[in-house]
Amino acid sequence: MVCNEEKLLVNVLYLSESEIENNVDLINIDFEKLIKTASSHLMLPAFFINVQKKNLTHLFPDDFIDYIQNIYSINKARNEVLLTETKQLSELLHKNNINHIFLKGSALLLANIFEDIGERMIGDIDFMIQKKDETTILRTLKENNYISHNREFKLFKHKHLSRHTHINKIFAIEPHIEFLSKGNRNILSYNELNSSFRDANKQIKIPDLSLILKHCIYSFQIEDFGFASSYYSHRSIYDVYKLNIKDETLIKRIKFNVYVKSFFLSIDQFKIFNIKFNTSLFSSYFVSLFRSFLKFYLKTYHIFEKIIRLIFSSKYRNYLINKLLASR
């Protein structure tokens, strides 16, 4: 059941000024709840931009507007720094002959899909490198005073190398070697960037919009457990919506597999995209069975993974012994 405040959030983001009141009881809006909902989806800056663009400020208390404007301003300043740091990072990587392509939030910003630079909240700078450059990039980052934040030992290779930070920079960086975690790479593989990597152009590169769209959906559905939890993220929906405005053929061109279908089905209630599905009872039953299995697996796999690692990996056993000795 979607609450009144979430309905207003959706209307403000996707409908025109005259349709804002559709299915929403404006008199009984709880503004505190609205802040909770919008902020949990990282949507306060986008909400502010749309309120302002659609001349809706009169519907909200002054202190509410002041607050979301503050959040928007801080985010905008941060994203301006992101663009500068992206440029600096790209120059550094080109100087060391490391071919790279920016992904996720930075790619969306670089592709100019938002009308305002402060609209999208972005945590870090993700970019893809070629597998042959793994050692070179780690050396380059170290030589340029980036600090590596090593993760706990993993049995399977992670989709990105360790997260790096720099004392004089705001954003952490994550050099990817794959889009998705192991087991899902047949859905969206690093190889889809081959043609972009062959391009010898030494400018800031991003994937084509259809690839950005696929990464956006799969990343939420698989990596953020959207599929397993049957939940949705307004940030991802808004990204897809904005990408679709830029090119209306993008959604039509995407392959409607179980993850994509589930993404659009979970937000069907909001009537943002006009998409029709053929979902038989039979296929819905198997999808829900698969989802339950996945949910159980995701909640328990770390226990099994640790046991298997302990039995089969001497490297992991040594890692644990060193960790134990260090803690003494």
Partner 1 sequence: MKKEIKNSIENIPSGITRKDAIKKMGKYAALTAVGTFMILNPKKAQAQSPARPGADW
Residues near partner 1 (CB under 8 A): 31-32, 35-36, 39-44, 63-64, 66-67, 70-71, 74-75, 78, 121-124, 149, 163, 165, 170-172, 174, 224-225, 229, 231-236
What minimum distance in Å lies between the beta carbon of 63 and partner 1? 6
CA quadruple 8, 11, 12, 17: dihedral sign: negative
Shortest separation between residue 136's beta carbon and partner 1, angstroms: 23
Shortest Å, Cβ 174 to partner 1: 8
- List helix spans (H) across the chain: 4-14, 31-40, 44-53, 62-95, 104-110, 134-143, 194-198, 209-218, 226-229, 234-246, 250-253, 258-266, 281-312, 314-327
Lookup result for tokens 């099994």: 304
Residue 21 Cβ, how far from partner 1 at the closest point, in Å? 23
Instruction: Using alpha carbons, select from 119, 101, 95 the residue that is nearest to residue 12.
Output: 119
* Euclidean distance between CA atoms 283 and 303, whole angstroms: 31
Residue 72 or 190: which CB sits closer to partner 1?
72
Nearer to partner 1, 41 or 54 (CB): 41
CB-wise, 97 or 148, nearer to partner 1? 148
Query: For partner 1, which is the closer residue by CB, 31 or 319?
Result: 31
What per-residue string of b and e applies to 206-242 under the rule 16 or more CB within 10 Å gives b? Answer: bbebbbbbbbbbbbbbbeeebbbeeebbbbbbbbbbb
**Residue 234, token pair as written in the block:** 């307004």
How far apart are CB 18 and partner 1 at their closest, in Å? 28
Closer to partner 1 by CB, 98 or 173: give it: 173
Contacts of 174 (CB under 8 A, 6+ apart): 124, 125, 126, 127, 160, 161, 163, 164
Question: What's the min distance (Å) between Cβ of 310 and partner 1?
Answer: 26
Residue number, 99 or 219, with CB nearest to partner 1: 219
